[in-house]
Amino acid sequence: MAVRSAILNVMVGAAEKASRTMKRDFGEVENLQVSRKGTNDFVTIADTRTEKTLQYELAKARPAFGFIMEESGVIEGEDPNRTWIIDPIDGTTNFIHGIPHFAISIALQEHGELVAALVYAPVFDEMFLAEKGQGATYNNRRLRVSSRTELSDCVLATGIPHLGRGDHEAYLPQLTSVMEATAGVRRFGSAALDLAYVAAGRFDGFWETGLQSWDVAAGILLVREAGGFVTEINGKGEALGGESILAANPRLHQPLSNLLTGKKTERLRAR
Ligand code: 2AM
Ligand code: CA
């Protein structure tokens, strides 16, 4: 993708603008860590500020498009068929704790289909982009999902349910199956980046339950355009708006779905 399309340029411009204040705000969090008090309020302000900048920049370039955003909810556009799906800071808990693993996530949906995606980790200056039918890129280089075929070689990402969230009992058997069969599990705390890392072949797969559309919309297109499969954990269903998500390279997707749903393959059972 040597020449970036107009729509990706708009998205990159908005993310770069928003990331400048976001990085400044992240620097402030480190100062606030000392006092603790007020960190959460400050991060809510940073979240909202980032979202407003993204909304302003995107609306300036495409005034008719609608929005679905984590902080502000749904804003209908003049054009009912084009909607931005935005998470201003995915990995908020990391941000609050001064951990630099967080990202801006922007997806464009046209007639119900994801057509453009951006996931940008500002502290690392890592830009993941995709456009439907055009492939995915990382800092201008083409992305491809991993080619590993043996679960025993694979590193998987996940999100672990925590206090007040998710079905803890249902999660544990999933984790048990995966940790027994693979080279390792990582829990980094940003679904958007987990999916971008699957697209980049860093992770061989990712699963989580109970996410919202803004957490995963851009990441889903990134994985698909990098040659991966994304469904619900049962191997079917639409990941966007679904209860759960499973992303992986095409060879591992079904075996992982079997593993997570308790349908052990013959080979695994034989071990
Ligand atoms: P956030 O950082 O924007 O909140 C980590 O497991 C992932 O879950 C992150 O992408 C995080 O997004 C998301 N997450 C955290 N709380 C959530 C909630 N209540 N609903 C949906 N997603 C959530
Ligand atoms: Ca999120």
Is the Cα torsion angle 157, 113, 129, 224 positive or negative in sign? Answer: positive
More confident residue, 240 or 2: 240
Q: What is the pLDDT of residues 91-145, one digit of tens each?
A: 999 999 999 999 999 999 999 999 999 999 999 999 999 999 999 999 989 999 9
Per DSSP (E only), the strands in 91-200 are 103-110, 113-121, 126-131, 135-138, 141-142, 155-158, 184-186
Give the ligand at the shortest distance from the Cα of 243. Answer: 1
Contact 20/130 with Cβ under 8 angstroms? no
Whole-number Å distance, alpha carbon 199 to ligand 2 midpoint, is 18
Residue with structure tokens 């705390």?
A: 189
Q: Which atom of ligand 1 is nearest to the CA of 162?
A: 6
Is residue 268 predicted with pLDDT exceeding 80? no
Active site residues: 70, 87, 89-90, 92, 215
Please, is 111 exposed, middle or buried when counting C-beta atoms within 10 Å of its C-beta (0-12, 13-18, 19+)? exposed
Whole-number Å distance, alpha carbon 114 to ligand 2 midpoint, is 17
Q: 261: Cβ–Cβ under 8 A, 6 or more apart, which residues?
A: 233, 234, 235
Spell out which residues line ligand 1, taking CB within 6 angstroms.
87, 90-93, 159, 165, 189-191, 208, 210-212, 215
Is residue 5 predicted with pLDDT exceeding 50? yes
Considering the segment(s) 151-261 as one domain, its CATH architecture is 3-Layer(aba) Sandwich (3.40)
Give the least confident one: 31-45, 132-146, 180-194.
31-45
Per-residue burial over 139-160, b if 16 or more Cβ lie within 10 Å, else e, is eeeebbbbebeebeebbbbbbe
Q: Where are the alpha helices (DSSP H) in the chain?
A: 6-35, 39-61, 92-96, 168-181, 191-199, 213-225, 250-260, 266-270
Q: What is the pLDDT of residues 7-28, one digit of tens each?
A: 999 999 999 999 999 999 999 8
Could you tell me which CATH class the domain 6-142 is placed in?
alpha beta
Testing ligand 1's pocket by substitution, the residue of 215, 216, 243, 244 carrying the most ligand atoms inside 8 A of its CB is: 215
Q: Which two tokens stand for residue 271?
A: 């071990």
Q: Which atom of ligand 1 is nearest to the CA of 94?
A: 2
Enumerate the domain spans of the chain.
6-142, 151-261
Give the predicted TM-score (pTM) of the model.
0.95
